[in-house]
A and B are shown apart, each in its own frame.
Chain A
Amino acid sequence: MSRRLPNCMDDNEGIPVRLTVDGQSIDIDADPEMPLLWALRDLAGKTGPKFGCGIAACGACTVHVDGSPVRSCVLKVGEVHGPVTTIEGIGSAEKLHPVQQAWLEEQVAQCGYCQAGQIMSAVALLDEVPSPTDADIDNAMGGNLCRCGTYPKIRAAIKRAAALKTAGA
């Protein structure tokens, strides 16, 4: 399915870009230099990925491109070649991804602003390492800041998600 969005005005001076986001084909007009994050948030209406730093230092903007975690605040939209998955594409309130389920059960989030990025990093970690060690978690999650200090619960939730995924597999 393809759709045009109301924000795509002629004076944007962009070029047509087709993205596949969360399984949906989206056509936007964007400056190819524009970071994927802003194309998603402002042009495609996907506000799940968050703006935190703009320099790939906090991880709040983490999405998957072709299944790999990327910081969308520094990836130019013109250089995206592959399907994009955001927090809105991995599960929903009605059907949570096991990582979201674990986050809910561990009551991880406080302010919650970083959590979409944390969850996307955790999903990518568990896709690669089904039973991560503490060191694996440190490595995979070190780029995701949380100012509320939810790290102990993030660690617990990743381990819980690993168990949930194993049980569900």
Chain B
Amino acid sequence: MASIGKIARRAFLIGAAAVAGGVAVGYYYYRKPYANPLDDQLAAGEATFNPYVKIAPDNTITIIAPREEMGQGVSTTLAALVAEELDVTLEQVRVEHGPTSKAYYNAAILEEGGPFAFFDESTLAEATRNGMGVVGKFLGLQGTGGSSSIRDGWDKMRQAGAAARFMLVAAAAQRLGVPAGELETADGKVLHRQSGRTLTYGELAAEAAARSPPSEVALKEKKDWKLLGKPQKRVDMLAKVTGAPVFGIDVRLPEMLYGTVKFSPRFGAAPIRTDLSKAEKMPGVVKIVPLETTYGHGFGVIAQNTWAAFKAAEAIEVEWGKAAYPADSAAIAKTLADALASNGGSAMRDDGDVDTAFADAPREKIVEADYFVPYLAHATMEPMNATAQLRDGALEIWCGNQSPTLVREQCAAAVGVDQDRVVVHTAYLGGGFGRRIEMDYALCAALMARETEGRPVKVTWTREEDTRHDTYRPAALGKFQARLGDDGLPVAIDMKIASPSIMASVLRRLYPSIPALGPDKTIVDGAYNQPYTVPDYRVTAIAAPIDIPIGFWRSVGNSVNGFFHEGFLDEIAIAGKTDPVELRRKLMAAYPAAVKVIEKVAEISKWSEPLPAGRAKGVAFTQSFGSWVAEVVQVADTPAGIRIEKVWIAADVGTALDPGIIEAQLVSAAVYGLSAAVNQEITFTDGAVEQSNFHDFDCMRIFQCPQFEVAILENYHRMGGVGEIATPPAAPALANAIFALTGKRLRSLPLSREVRFA
């Protein structure tokens, strides 16, 4: 994109976050490796080769998959990266999340934090990616998000497996007195074929681990892969079908107390008048304590069981302060509209000369539309919870979370102990979707653990607290216009999008002393960085001042702008009398990977074949997290309303390491997007969220779920993410299909406000 240079010179919010983590410590520190956190955690006789591999004498092989398993299958595929190069099967290894450590920093999570489209491979874009990767190491942020885990682990975890294998082979060569070149490895054993002798890795581990690691290792070629590229059995499946206690909420400890929280319904508002007397007398109540964090004010109830805590929380009588933000949905909509009309903001894409293009445009060549999306809750199935124990100046925390190092840092500060006195046990997450990158659940448990005289306390939020104290996907308002050329294709597109800044909101909670400066690209992610070529093409982000907590919701800005951009593109296609697939194919011509994806989805959905009356299809495409995804949705008019019959997805992920898990993620993310598109919104009255539970914030159910057909492509030369990429195109493909079915253009979510669904 021609204009990106002038944008990149500005400060970005992600940069502010990096400074907060203390980046300015010099190049040397970056080069220095972190210590292996497994060194001081070994069982008797166990040996470790690097932070990802440990092997016991009985050939128990443990692989550390240090990203948080929230359903995306990351523990399986990360383990497969190591296992492939180590020459072991997934069945014979134990896979653990492992300890909390900066050694498990995620560099890739920030690499796309700069203001560049994924396919921009200019020197500046690449330099920024490398710089952001360095920032990731500096921060030592062990975290899972941004569909980055596999891209982050891709080299380093294969190298970890290969290096351990190299050292095991070298030890075997010495033991057997044969050249290393005569040795083979398979299934956790070293074999000397000429003599028929074999040694297990366990027999060699101690002496192998004592050797110096190789400075370079050769990785297998793709054609030699045994595990990668093929569907694996998930390592977490047996536990999950047998009801094993694998979630944070399942933690049980001796002498454990239970608790819950009750926060101000108005974000940030403090209590004005409180009467705890009734609540404190409720059966089973141990203690009620005030809570204050960067997430707001509330009370923690400590009790003998969770139910007693819930009942007592209901009985707390409190009058809360006023909201310091637009207090209802109408006021929020007006703030967004005012921001949009302000002519401010940052043009994150600015190709050609948009103002001139529209100045002399004939009226009949102009397409205009306003779009809106509401706030959304994450609604993970497992409500927020954490268990904490503080004794002898040491804090221990158990929870599902998306960043163990952040839990450690934030909770240490909250209770006033050093970080090296905090141990974080990361459980499986009963859903993450970006919600568990936040820290409120852990902070509450840590603060309440100060009140229990050393006993552990498991703090579980009600669904109502969870729904009403989320960090929401922000609402957004867009104003768009396009000028059509004589061939019906757009020659100019101008998109203005107003939304509160997610990065500023996150910074306020995690690093409140750091000012939020500069534009926030998440406001326009999914609109400014799409692989379309239009001569005059501008996308402007306008941060709207609404201080309701917002955060990362599966696919983040792409969830907003996928709908905006692709809905509007469908309007352009219809106005220019161009087939929507054909329009995209032409505008994407400079990006072959994108063209192949749109052609593939057209092929598998039989796009060009006519449908019987009462059925219609819609298409949408979004490039996000490094992957290219097109979806076609087919809807049917039924007596009960519109039925979503079938969804076709074509996705180019560059390299598909586990096609089974990738397909499951594509379906999952599309269902997540369709749930929101059909039915979900978070609205406000008197500063409080109106929805509270699944009866008024429902999700797609089995009888509403369409059939899916998925095609996974590997044309692009860089690997993309997987976990979020199918969410953005789902809503626009559905809205476009409904237009094709009914002639009614839907520009506002949720769609059930305007049409009835079966």
Q: Which of A's residues lie within 8 Å of B, judged by CB? A: 6-7, 9, 11-14, 31, 34-35, 38, 41-43, 45, 47-55, 57-58, 60, 86-88, 91-93, 96, 100, 103-104, 107-116, 119, 137-139, 141-142, 144-155
Contact = CB atoms under 8 A, between A and B. Distances in A.
Interface string B221-257: 0000000000101101111111111110110101110
A43 B381 contact: no
Contacts of A49: 243
A42 B431 contact: no
Contacts of A139: 703
Contact of A109 (B241, B702, B707): B241
A138 B702 contact: yes
B380 interface: yes
Contacts of A119: 241
Given A38-B305, A52-B463, A113 B241 contact: no
Contacts of A148: 71, 381, 431, 668, 671
Contacts of A57: 693-695, 698
Given A86-B243, A112-B430, A107 B694 contact: no
A137 B705 CA distance: 12
B242 A42 contact: no
B462 interface: yes
Given A86-B243, A92-B242, A148-B668, A12 B379 contact: no
A7 B667 CA distance: 42
Contacts of B432: 111
Given A12-B305, A150-B668, 7 more contacts: A13-B284, A104-B238, A107-B234, A112-B246, A147-B433, A147-B675, A152-B705
Nearest to A103: B241
Which of the listed residues B245, B249, B668, B672 has the most CB atoms from chain A within 10 Å of its own CB?
A: B668
A19 to B, nearest CB: 15
A48 B242 CA distance: 8
Given A13-B283, A141-B702, A54 B237 contact: no
B462 A54 contact: yes
A42 B694 contact: no
A78 to B, nearest CB: 13
Interface in B48-93: 70-73
Grouping DSSP codes into helix (H, G, I), strand (E, B) and loop, the A interface class, with mixed when no group exceeds half, is loop
A151 B705 contact: yes
A155 B306 CA distance: 34
Given A12-B304, A47-B252, A142-B702, A108 B241 contact: yes
A52 B381 contact: yes
A60 B381 contact: yes
B interface residue count range (under 10 / 10 to 19 / 20 to 34 / 35 or more): 35 or more
A52 B702 CA distance: 17
A31 B311 CA distance: 12
Contacts of B238: 93, 104
Please provide the 5 A-B residue pairs with the shortest distance between their CB atoms, ordered closest to farther.
A149-B671, A113-B430, A48-B243, A111-B71, A112-B240
A88 B431 contact: no
B145 interface: no
A108 B668 CA distance: 11
Which of the listed residues B237, B240, B284, B705 has the most CB atoms from chain A within 10 Å of its own CB?
A: B240
Contact of A155 (B244, B379, B702): B702
A73 to B, nearest CB: 10
A151 B667 CA distance: 9
Contact of A147 (B247, B250, B431): B431
A109 B242 CA distance: 11
A125 B699 CA distance: 22
Which of the listed residues A35, A47, A113 has the most CB atoms from chain B within 10 Å of its own CB?
A: A113
B280 to A, nearest CB: 13
B660 interface: yes
Contact of A55 (B430, B675, B695, B702): B695
B382 interface: yes
Interface string B703-731: 10101100000000000000000000000
